[in-house]
Structure 1
Amino acid sequence: MIIGIDLGGSSTKAVALQGDKVVGNEVIPTTDPLASSIGVMGTIITKLGKSLSDIEVLALCGARSTVLPSRILGSEVRKVDEIHAIGLGGAFLSHKEDALVVSMGTGTAVVVARKGGTIVEHLCGTGVGGGSVIGLSRRLLNTSDIQLIESMAKKGDLTRVNLRVQDVAGGPVGNLVPEATASNFGGLKDDATGPDLAAGIFNMVGEVIGMLAVVSAKATGLQDHVVLVGRLAKIDLLVRHIMRVGQLFNVKMVVPDLAEYCVAVGAAKFCSATR
Structure 2
Amino acid sequence: MNRIGIDAGGSLVKMVFEDKGVLHYRKYAITEIDSFIQWLNMTVPTAKLVVTGGKSYLVKEKTSHPVTIVNEFEAMAEGARYLLEQEFHLLHKEFILISIGTGTSIYHVTPSNFERVIGTGIGGGTFIGLGTLLAGTSNFTELVERAGSGDRKKIDLLVRDIYGSNETPLIGDLTAANFGKAHLSQDATKDDQLASTIQLIAETIILLANQVAQIKDVSKLVFVGSTLSGNHMLRKVLGEFSQSLGREALFPTNGAFAGAIGAYLL
TM-score (norm 2): 0.85
Cα distance, 1:40–1:236 mapped onto 2, change above 3 Å? farther
State the Cα deviation string for residues 210-253 of structure 1 (Å, max 9, x = none).
22222212221222x21111111211111111112112211111
Alignment length (residue pairs) = 254
Q: 8 Å contact 1:15–1:22 — kept in the other structure?
A: no
Deviation, 1:59, is 0.8
**Equivalent residue in structure 2 for 1:110, among 95, 106, 114:** 106
CA offsets 1:36-92 (integer angstroms, 9 cap, x no match):
56345357xx5xxxx555x4x32101122135559954x532111111111111121
Alignment CA distance shift 1:148-1:38 (3 Å): closer
The one-character-per-residue Cα deviations of 1:22-49 (angstroms, maximum 9, x if unpaired) are 521111233476x456345357xx5xxx
Judge conservation of contact 1:88–1:269 (CA < 8 Å) in 2: yes
Q: Percent identity?
A: 28
Aligned residue in 2 for 1:181: 175
1:204 maps to 200
- What's the secondary structure of 1:250's corresponding residue? coil
Aligned equivalents of 2:114, 2:36: Cα separation in 1: 26
1:12 corresponds to 2:13 = yes
* Residue 50 (structure 2) pairs with residue 59 (structure 1): yes
Contact residue 106 and residue 130 of structure 1 kept, 8 A: yes
Distance (whole Å) between structure 1 residues aligned to residue 227 and residue 200 of structure 2: 14
Letter in 2 for 1:63: G
Q: Write the letter of the residue equivalent to 1:144.
A: S
Letter in 2 for 1:149: L
Structure 2 gaps of 5+ residues are: none
SS state of the match for residue 63, structure 1? coil
Deviation digits for residues 155-193 of structure 1 (CA, Å, limit 9, x no counterpart)? 2222211121222344453xx522121211112224121
Alpha-carbon distance in structure 2 between the residues aligned to 1:180 and 1:82: 35
Instruction: Name the structure 2 match of 1:138.
Output: 132
Please list every run of 5 or more consecutive structure 1 residues that lacks an aligned counterpart in the other structure. 271-275
Distance 2:144 2:36 in 1: 30
Counterpart among 163, 187, 194 of residue 190 in structure 2 = 194
- Report the CA distance between 1:261 and its aligned residue: 0.6
What is the RMSD computed on CA atoms of the aligned residues? 2.5
User: 2: CA distance between counterparts of 1:248 and 1:40?
Assistant: 45
Aligned to 1:163: 157
Q: Do the aligned partners of residues 140 and 7 (structure 1) sit closer, same or farther apart at CA in structure 2, a change above 3 Å counting?
A: same
TM-score, length-normalised on structure 1?
Answer: 0.82
